Amino acid sequence: MSKAKDEILRAYETFLQDLMRMAGIKSALLVNNRGEVLLSAGQFALNSQATVQLGVLLAQLSAVAELQYNKVEEISMVFADGRITTFTNLDLMIKTAYGTEEVFLILVSTPAANLPTMRMTVKVAADKLKKDRAVAGLRVSVSVLRQSLLTRDRLDATSWELLEAMNRAQ
């Protein structure tokens, strides 16, 4: 690995570790618009296949929300055992095998995690990351829209019908 790529990865690892210091955070993931988990920190109750499915599912959910509401900043879902919060449109870039891509953040936390504190911590950590000299000059070289995951072969029948109904309603 090149020195520049090492510095970029180190900057993103520091970003994820800053988020992990927040009370109630169990794990943090950086996911590209294809739904691929690129970097993660924390403890996962999910196996690797379920983690991949989580990345794709949340990318698809973000895409559907953007179809309805244009620009979506966050999606938060609370379950009995925890909360999953997706932060999109943070303008975070990372170098991958495909080129420089935009990524979004997924935080898995306890249900009682303070959402306003989470938002503020994510904003401060993302601003700090963007000022890091290793990532400051990164620009998207490969643009993938999350909407590309909304195809019949990637959705179950019910989800596809719901998506078609949403498109007809617009």
Q: Where are the domains of the chain?
A: 3-156
- Per residue in 55-104, pLDDT (tens digit) is 667 776 777 666 666 666 788 888 888 888 989 888 888 877 777 888 88
Distance of CA 64 to the CA centre of its chain: 15
* pLDDT above 80 (res 120): yes
- Per residue in 14-57, pLDDT (tens digit) is 999 999 999 999 999 998 877 888 888 887 665 666 666 776 67
- Per residue in 5-15, pLDDT (tens digit) is 788 889 899 99
Residue 38: other Cβ atoms inside 10 A: 17
Residue 141: other Cβ atoms inside 10 A: 12
Residue 124: C-alpha distances to residues 17, 58, 59, 108, 150 (Å): 13, 23, 23, 18, 32
Distance CA 137, CA 31 (A): 20
* Angle (nearest 5°) at CA 18 between 113 and 90: 80
Report the topology of domain 3-156: Beta-Lactamase (3.30.450)
DSSP-H helix ranges across the chain = 3-20, 48-69, 115-131, 157-169
